[in-house]
Structure 1
Amino acid sequence: MPDSGYDITVVKFGGSCFIDLDDYTAVAGYLAGLVSPDGPPRRRVVAVVSAMSGTTGRLLEAARSLDPELRASAQDHILATGEMVSASFLRVALDAQGCAAIDLWAGQNGLGSDGQATRAKIISMDPRPLLDALREHRVVVVAGGQATDATGRVTMLGRNSSDLTAVAIAAMLGVDRCEIFSDVPGVFTADPHVVPAAQLMPELSYRQCAAMSLAGAKVLHHDSVRMAEAHGVRIECRALTPGEIDGALVAATGTVVGTGSGRAAVVTDRRRLDPIGEYGLVSVIDTEGRARSSVVGLAELDSVANALHARLVDSALPATEFVRPKRRSNHSDLLTRSGASEHAGGDPA
């Protein structure tokens, strides 16, 4: 592992952290605080970012309107732009606050892939590009979910794979923890949008977290958990909330994924299997990562999940009050908005 001589923090911000453009300014303020001139002089931050919430779906929809038979290699190049724009926006917001920053995309992040379009695997990790950037900048912003193959072509690591980028960077820089930020303050015993009585788990083992991801839970990318375990990287799932004093964002760790033990969890997944059509899968994941799954009709999925959860989780414990609806950014069509619609009502948003 490289000895950079810096105190490096690796963080990742999911698309749900960027609903409004002002969110880039708020996140930049948090990052600038981490590397404040009043703090340790050798502190550096690598911030991996996802595309704005909703961008991936809108980019795919626009591309398939041009070619319904969209090639996988073309899809990779199109989707990569979402993370690239997000990284550039955060870098600009950091610049505006006087924080020395740079944004890196595929080909600049040191990650090499096997070249498989849409689901590429990381096969090489070179820390030198990041270490060079960290020598010149206090914050390095990295577009998540992407790498380059042996020919230099951009390949995506799969849907929701910015987690994997962040863990890979922590591993190749010799950092023993990686902080994952989203609008959800950790990993729950069930999807809190489906099961209102879901409870936050302060600790979770790699094995159980990986099993939950494979069963369909939108917690962490499965390969990111496996890589974290292989390299001894602790994953801290967190959320940013306004502070009580001046409203500046502060972070609190909700769930630490590593060697700790969680509780049994219920995972729901809406799937499609031709020619059967859509169906629901509900799984109970125990603390050892063993899964017991059942196929149910979509209409029954939520009620079955709530009933299973009620039998598994101690009802005497207080439920976590988290019923915030999932949101999509109003700016997620930034790259696909037509000129006619953009100017029809006046100035663009």
Structure 2
Amino acid sequence: MSGEPEPLVLKFGGASFVSPGAHRVIARHVASRLAGRAAEQLSDRAADRVLTGNAGPRGGRSSARVVVVVSAVAGETDRLSVQMRAVSPDPDRELLAAALMTGEIVNVALMTAALRDAGLAAHALTAADTGFVGMGEPHHADLVEIDAAALEKAAEPGRVVVVPGGQAIGLDGRPVMLGRNSSDLSAIAAAAALGAPGCEIFSNSPGICTADPQLVPDARTLARIDYDTMMAMSRHGAKVLHHSAVAWAARHGVEIRCRSLLPDGRWHSVVGAADGSAGAGRGGVVVVHRTGAVWTGAAVRVRALREDPARLGPDVVVVDEAAPDGAAAGAAVEAAGRDAGVTHLVLADVLRDLTADGLRRADLRLVTTMFPDGRLDLRLVPPSEVTAVARAQHRLVTGN
């Protein structure tokens, strides 16, 4: 019954802060969670006193380690990017990163102020305080290491620390961005550093669904989904969680617990290790890559590009037009490497230009169907046909 309580790691994305007074609502939620934990601790201490005769510590404040990870307010990063490019159309990457990271820095200060007003001992952290180490371009680095001691020192028991999402320290000691939409990765890294079994991700999404509910009204929310299936969904266009964040969670055994935005705070989906329970298996999912840029060209040219991953970026799906019924496994690059035939590349990075490499942009969208046996059916269709194809494939794979 005794011992330090489980760390609490909560992440709030940009959409969480759009409503008036959102920071105060979130602060009250955190305070309420900690008050509940304090009551549990007092109950445990009372039981300890009965069993051991030890009076033990008293008081109504939880001794849990608490980390609140925040993104920039929705739209702020885009605004900063436009402002920077209005001054310099092609700014140096370290300057671009420095400008974009101010969105999270400002929101950390706002969230910390709201938490203090709610009566909590809150402390604002910088990227250097987290112990997260990044490597790569300053505006799009990869998380390569976690110095757990740094966050353990900052997140003292009974204190709430507020962390800027998607930020780390580069090998030269300067702050770097971990790419867009990487606050989930920061929350998972924080949970791993503190030894927490899970982290809670608050968003306006209805959890992990069998299809995009905006396209397929009959889509079901999955109560549980395994890491591998979630990573495959992400690589093929699902926007709920990025596959690099899920990979870190799988590596460190951190459950990702998806919840609705406050004040409802309802549980939706849990991403974790496959356990054989109902709803935790593979397949039965349709994913639409609604924003990916599709490039088409001769297979021999695509093969040459694939030998230089830096030209394409990390998030690429290869689709071989010659595959039966438009289907192809994304991992079967060799099948797309013939000198004859046409191959398509679907890039998450819509700003990359492959015209100089002999490819042309195609006005197509990728629809991926994941079957229960692990098969993938990849179809490139015109935008006007996306909804009909997604619904038909969803009926095929789920029976709904």
TM-score (norm 1): 0.82
Q: Which amino acid aligns with 1:8?
A: P
Q: Provide the secondary structure at the position in 2 that maps to 1:121.
A: strand
Identify which of 247, 257, 260 aligns with 1:239: 260
Does the alignment pair 1:153 with 2:174? yes
1:12 aligns with 2:11: yes
Could you tell me how far apart the structure 2 residues matched to 1:22 and 1:262 are? Answer: 40
Q: 1:94–1:101: 8 Å Cα contact kept in structure 2?
A: yes
Aligned residues: 305
Range that drifts further, 259-268 or 183-192: 259-268
Does residue 27 (structure 1) correspond to residue 112 (structure 2)? The answer is no
Q: Distance in 2 between matches of 1:188 and 1:178?
A: 19
For 2:374 and 2:106, locate their aligned partners in 1 and report how far apart those are by CA, in whole Å: 37
1:123-162 alignment to 2 at 5 Å? 123-135=144-156, 138-162=159-183
Cα distance per residue 1:313-335 (max 9 Å; x no partner): 232xxxxxxxxxxxxxxxxxxxx
Equivalent residues in 2 for 1:61-210 (5 A)?
A: 61-135=82-156, 138-210=159-231
**Structure 1 stretches of 5 or more lacking a match?**
242-248, 316-349
Q: Does 1:295 align with 2:380?
A: yes
State the alpha-carbon separation in 1 of the partners of residues 155 and 398 from structure 2: 45
Q: Is the 8 A contact 1:185 1:253 kept in 2?
A: no
Name 2:49's counterpart in structure 1.
none
- Say which of 251, 258, 268 aligns to 2:265: 251
Is 1:268 matched up with 2:283? Answer: no
Q: Distance in 1 between matches of 2:111 and 2:373?
A: 39
Q: Could you tell me how far 1:38 is from its partner in structure 2? A: 4.2
CA distance in structure 2 between the partners assigned to 1:76 and 1:32 by the alignment: 33
Change in 2 beyond 3 A, CA 1:82/1:278? farther
Q: Whole-Å Cα distance in 2 between the matches of residues 129 and 112 of structure 1? A: 11
Deviation sequence 1:101-156 (CA, Å, 0-9, x none): 01212111110112433331222211223222222752111110010112122211
**In 2, distance between residues paired with 1:314 and 1:237?**
25
Provide the rounded CA distance (Å) in 2 between the counterparts of 1:57 and 1:288: 40
Amino acid aligned to 1:261: G
Structure 2 residue matching 1:107: 3-state secondary structure: helix
Q: Distance in 1 between matches of 2:373 and 2:127?
A: 36
The separation in 2 between residues aligned to 1:236 and 1:164, in whole angstroms, is 13
AA aligned to 1:20 is: S
Q: Which amino acid is the alignment partner of residue 392 of structure 2?
A: A
The range that moved more, 180-189 or 127-136, is 127-136
Paired AA for residue 371 in structure 2: D
Cα 1:286–1:236, aligned 2, differ >3 Å: closer, same or farther? farther
Please give the TM-score of this superposition, normalised by the length of structure 2. 0.72
2:159 aligned partner, one-letter code: R
Work out whether 1:312 is the aligned partner of 2:397: yes
Aligned AA for 1:24?
H
1:254 is paired with a residue whose SS is strand
Determine the structure 2 residue equivalent to 1:337: none
Gaps of 5+ in 2: 42-61, 275-279, 296-354
- C-alpha distance in 1, partners of 2:76/2:218? 30
Q: 1:172 to 1:287 in 2, by over 3 A?
A: farther
Q: Following TM superposition, by how much is the alpha carbon of 1:99 offset from its aligned partner in structure 2, in angstroms?
A: 1.1
Identity value in percent? 37
| Larger fraction in helix | 2
Q: Secondary structure at the match of 1:123?
A: strand
Q: C-alpha separation between the residues in 1 aligned to 2:4 and 2:120?
A: 20
CA–CA distance in structure 1, aligned partners of residues 21 and 14 of structure 2: 14
Question: 8 Å contact 1:94–1:100 — kept in the other structure?
Answer: yes
Residue in 2 that maps onto 1:321:
none
Q: CA RMSD in A?
A: 2.0
Checking the alignment, whether the CA contact within 8 Å between 2:123 and 2:160 is kept in structure 1 is yes
Change (3 A) 1:263 1:21: same
Q: Which amino acid aligns with 1:26?
A: V
Distance 1:287 1:160 in 2: 29
Q: For residues 287 and 226 of structure 1, do their structure 2 counterparts lie closer, same or farther at Cα, with a shift above 3 Å needed? A: farther
Q: Structure 1 residues 297 and 166 mapped into 2: Cα distance closer, same or farther (>3 Å)? A: same
Q: Is the 8 A contact 1:122 1:147 kept in 2?
A: yes
- Could you say which residue in structure 2 is the equivalent of 1:322? none
Q: Larger relative contact order (C-alpha < 8 A, sep ≥ 6)? A: 1
Task: Give the aligned partner of residue 338 of structure 2.
Answer: none
